[in-house]
Structure 1
Amino acid sequence: MKTAMKTVMALAMVCMAVSVMAQPPRGERPSPEDRARMMAERMRRELSLTDQQVEQITRLNLNAFRTRMPQDSIARKKMTDERAEQMKKILTPEQYEKWTELRNTRMRQRARMTPEQIVARRVALMKKELALTDQQAARIEQMQLEAWKNRKQEAENRKKEQVARQNQLKDILTPEQYAKWRELQKQQHRNRGPKDGHRPGVHGPHRPAPADHAE
């Protein structure tokens, strides 16, 4: 029995090591400082912000871009709520109400958008805020779309490899060992929490929401 358990644990560790994949490279993007300023300036136009408010929101956005989102869903919600409270202190009640409405509207719109539409919208914003040429905008859009396609293909390949490994283990292990291995995998997944996610080809590794959440 002890030998069987050692075998199961060893196989689980091997599978975990094989399944760890490096994050694919992201398409070209502006720096966190540029993005933080760009989003704050857009909020200036939408909410008629003062210079002081723009500076405060820029710092808030930059901190969000530099902070890694917790894996635990409860911790993520807590962090998001804390940032909303920070925004509430910076904005007037009228500005905060309008900001909340705009953010919710954008989130609903993004949920219905294709990756191509998301990339096009992001590049259009970059072109406007960073004064990109048509050639620069076209190259950045192409890079981000190619990055999304590559990630999509790699995700499909990883899924196929995972299924193939599971089938191989199923042939090697006894039914009891395989059931125990599956249970160990589930337990390890619960201990790790959800993996970092990202929008297809656009955002890269999941990060905490900046003040102006949806771009």
Structure 2
Amino acid sequence: MTVARPALLHPAAKPLLFALCLLPFAWLFYAAAANQLGANPAEALIRSTGDWTLRFLCLVLAVTPLRVWTKQPALARFRRMIGLFAFFYAVLHFLAYAWLDMGLDLAAIARDIPKRPFALVGFLALLLLVPLAATSFNRAIKALGAARWQALHRLVYGIALLAILHFFWMRAGKNDFAEVAVYAAVIAALLGWRLARLRRSRALAA
């Protein structure tokens, strides 16, 4: 019998997680206000918000493996919040690009995105995150039905792959793939775990 750890079910657990997820935003806000983002603040903001989007996507994908390995089903109650923060930082990433790079010129943004493959796949990943964020509440689950809701939220796997492709193409111009390799390895391991688990379940059902 699996017993949930009291800390995971404590009423303060979700508020604490919320505060922790906001810390990167708070730091970036402070650093921008205090002029501590280095010689190129715009690039620092765009890059940092993109990095945190990838990190939260990795955390979302890690919830289920951690829940299974630790035998703590209560971990699942935090997945929705982590996913919403992935969307939050993705929106910040796009807004930083749209404002600091493009001056909020919508026509220029519309011309720029299709011209650059890394921008196009990044924008597609953001668009795919929108329905996931919009249906991340209990009423949406009831309206869609559990099966359709789960099928929709499997888009996160494709989103993670688009995000790492976006990062790869962005770094290709600088021939700097060290960080890309780390994120790619993490995402590959998490998706590989799911694929192996699916194959085992199908083998047992056969």
Provide the TM-score with structure 1 as the length reference.
0.28
Of structures 1 and 2, the one with the larger relative CO (CA 8 A, separation 6+) is 1
**Larger gyration radius, structure 1 or structure 2:** 1
| Structure holding more helix per residue | 2
Provide the TM-score with structure 2 as the length reference.
0.29
